[in-house]
Structure 1
Amino acid sequence: MAAKHSKRGTSFLPLEIIETILLNLPAKSLLRFKTVSKSWNTMISDPAFVENHLHRSKTSSSRNLLLGKLGFSHDNSEDYSLVKIDKDRKLRTLQLSEGPRGFNVVLSYCDGVLLLTNDRTTCMDFVLWNPSTGTRATFRFPYEVNTVSQKIYGLCHDPRTGGLKVVVVVCSNYYTVYSCKNKSWTRKKEFGDTSFLVVYDPHVFVDGVFYLLSMDPGRYLITYFDPVDDEIKILRKPEILADRLWIYMADLKGRLCVYCNGNGDRGNAIRILIKGEGVGNNHWEELITMANVPTDIWFFKPLCFVKNKILIQLYGLRLVLYNPSEKTFEKFDIERSSVYCEYFPYLDSLIDPGAFFPAQEKEEVVIEKLISCS
């Protein structure tokens, strides 16, 4: 009788309550629950549900998750580790996963989806891969590019179609935009006197756009790719930053941050400024200034906040926590298998890159005409 009552009670549970419960579950569990019923499958597949689930992942303060790519093995390893930052300053591996075979170089990432390639030098073949669900889609770059040309790769949403866009900037020459929804590449105009400079972590996806650093003779420019009109635009730099300073970018608290040496171009202090939320918001304020940083700025990479502390990667290897209240760097206890890792923000996401391609073209997007560009 109790079992019968339980079954009746579950069947009459309001859909709003079911949706609230499901939104708090990981993506892999939701993929399994799609098979429960047609109504659940429809609900979980709905773009609004996917977006709300992603928002929950972004605003969750308890996850503290990173995706680690095993270092010094880009040419022969597709191994990734999902790690969690514990309260006692330990980095604990939750699971190991294998990425798309043969595609072992991470170029960019956006809302839980990674842009990968199989050869950092040529970068002709790409994979969009969601490590949360294992879904993927492959496509090919149609232009022949000199292998010595510096290139920047970006990934962002297409607000008009709901798909994804890939941006490839061939430094000092031109940039191309790939629309997954339209399955086509578009080559954009040349830059003229402005040359794009690849610097440490030059790309950041925030505010729905792809930010990158460019170089005008003698000064840095903060620029961004606007997916609405596919144009690269200049963002007004904070007035307190002198043009002579080397600047770098990071995503902290879901906001664009720039950081530089706090004592001119040299020194062991690093100053971080945070931008107001939204593309059109040009308000900047100081987030923090760190003194006695144990490395040069080009070996310094802020990853995320862990409550009121900042997780930082040094030398591409070592992780430390900066405690603003005590102005100290705290060492991290890292598992031996995670020592030589490159870390990326991990977001539990239902975004399926393959959904943006017809079924027969998920393995390879065919470009009819190849255009040669030197």
Structure 2
Amino acid sequence: MSPSGSINIPLEITEAILRLLPAKSLGRFKSVSKTWNSLISDPNFIKTHLLHTHQTSKLIGLSTTGSLYSIDISETLDSDDDDDDDDDILATAKELSIRSPPIRWKEIFGSCNGLLLAKDENDTIFMINPTTQDLWKVPLCPFAPPPDEEYEEEVYVTYGFGYDSSTDDYKIVSISFWHHHSMQHDSSETFASVYSLRNNSWRKLRDYDYHEHDHTVLDVINGAVINQTLHWLARHSEIVGFNLANEEFNEMKFPDTIGMYTSTFSSMVDVGGKLGVFIWSDAGFECCVMEEYGVWESWTRVRIHGVERDRVPWPECLLDGRSREIVFQEKEGKVLVYNIDERRFRDVRIVGGPGGTVNVYGGTFVESLESPKRIMIAS
């Protein structure tokens, strides 16, 4: 014990205790002392904290006024004791404000380790950590061809965002598809490129013409990350995968045994760490899950009851820690939560935004200390 009567705790014990605390609390604890501020800000501590902390994931919301929100639906469902299906369950949206500079957000492309990949109203892409207020502007991709005024163009761009543990790097994949119309002829081009945060640069990927081979990627939002591989749905009952480590594309076909070839795709999502695809088949609306990654015989099917074909809610994600409940976006300001065991939907209305309607983005978010600056310092 020190002369002042306080207890001197070894720094390694202090560090071990702090590693177990939530990121938001650690942000406040930086002001305790210079030692704590230095420890909590250290890149190695940030990385180890991410590995040791276990927090409940929250849904990500984006309001019609351009603000980001976190929504804890699991907490809402646990506290709901009313069995009256006619009444909506209310879930509170809490704003994830970025204080400086003020930004009006337009779209969210992905979430990984507490970082969000989002685009603002000026079409500038950022990596952000709403918990720590870190903001990283992603440079423009130099490989997309400029628009040609002679053509009438259809442009589709899909993104993927994930973490490559082999190089301790965050990567963005962009797949762009142009369909040009003119009086003389029609033509199509597909470009794929990858951005490395560690190198702060884009690299054009090897030519892989999805359109030429009729393998056009159907997902136009973001890739589902499973086993450090991004996945998108493609035509002809295929999944297009991009391995974040070796930066190569691969194609995976669905097995005949589950009848995917006669099905209509809806979307692909992360189903509790497993690859999941929502489809319409002769049996109705189903979720097909690959129980063991890479093993085609492990695909299983779960029927989603109570969905009419002319009113298909958009599947978003599985509720973290609740492996039998799936979140669907039905309409503005409302989601449906489907319980597989009970075979029923519950209506959840999102409230709490200061202005505009809050809609969920297809993914979950955890609070962390992770920062793009940590990667840049390490490089």
Structure 1 and Structure 2 fold alike (TM over 0.5): yes
1:322 lines up with 2:338 in the alignment? yes
* Preserved contact between residue 110 and residue 205 of structure 1 (Cα < 8 Å): no
Residues 116-127 of structure 1: pairs in structure 2 closer than 5 A: 116-118=118-120, 123=123, 125-127=124-126
Residues 207-218 of structure 1: pairs in structure 2 closer than 5 A: 207-215=227-235
**Residue matched to 1:313:** 329
281, 288, 300: which one pairs with 1:273? Answer: 288
Q: Secondary structure at the match of 1:354?
A: helix
**Residue matched to 1:138:** 137
Q: Secondary structure at the match of 2:138?
A: strand
**Residue matched to 1:371:** none
- What is the root-mean-square deviation in Å for CA atoms of aligned residues? 3.3
* Preserved contact between residue 328 and residue 335 of structure 2 (Cα < 8 Å): yes
TM-score (normalizing by structure 1):
0.76
* Preserved contact between residue 139 and residue 201 of structure 2 (Cα < 8 Å): no
Q: Shift of the alpha carbon at 1:282? A: 4.3
Q: Secondary structure at the match of 1:98?
A: coil
**Code of the aligned partner of 2:61:** G
5, 9, 12: which one pairs with 1:12? Answer: 9
Q: Shift of the alpha carbon at 1:345? A: 1.0
Q: Residues 274 and 21 from structure 1, CA distance in 2 versus in 1: closer, same or farther, beyond 3 angstroms?
A: farther
Q: Residues 140 and 224 from structure 1, CA distance in 2 versus in 1: closer, same or farther, beyond 3 angstroms?
A: same
39, 57, 69: which one pairs with 2:62? Answer: 69
* In structure 2, C-alpha distance between the alignment counterparts of 1:197 and 1:304, rounded to whole Å: 23
* Preserved contact between residue 204 and residue 211 of structure 1 (Cα < 8 Å): yes
1:291 lines up with 2:305 in the alignment? yes
**Residue matched to 2:351:** 335
268, 273, 284: which one pairs with 1:254? Answer: 273
Q: Shift of the alpha carbon at 1:259? A: 1.6
Give the number of aligned pairs.
Answer: 335
**Code of the aligned partner of 2:367:** D
Q: Secondary structure at the match of 1:136?
A: strand
Q: Residues 296 and 41 from structure 1, CA distance in 2 versus in 1: closer, same or farther, beyond 3 angstroms?
A: farther
Q: Secondary structure at the match of 2:374?
A: helix
* In structure 1, C-alpha distance between the alignment counterparts of 2:297 and 2:221, rounded to whole Å: 23
Q: Residues 2 and 350 from structure 1, CA distance in 2 versus in 1: closer, same or farther, beyond 3 angstroms?
A: closer
Q: Shift of the alpha carbon at 1:129? A: 0.9
Q: Shift of the alpha carbon at 1:34? A: 4.1
**Code of the aligned partner of 2:276:** C
Q: Shift of the alpha carbon at 1:161? A: 2.9
* In structure 2, C-alpha distance between the alignment counterparts of 1:298 and 1:312, rounded to whole Å: 9
Q: Shift of the alpha carbon at 1:94? A: 6.0
**Residue matched to 2:68:** 80
**Code of the aligned partner of 1:28:** K
TM-score (normalizing by structure 2):
0.75
1:31 lines up with 2:27 in the alignment? yes
* In structure 1, C-alpha distance between the alignment counterparts of 2:332 and 2:34, rounded to whole Å: 46
**Residue matched to 1:352:** 371
**Residue matched to 1:244:** 262
1:234 lines up with 2:251 in the alignment? yes
Long gaps (5+) in structure 1: 360-374
Q: Secondary structure at the match of 1:21?
A: helix
Q: Shift of the alpha carbon at 1:326? A: 2.8
Long gaps (5+) in structure 2: 81-88, 148-152, 178-188
1:152 lines up with 2:158 in the alignment? yes
**Code of the aligned partner of 2:170:** L
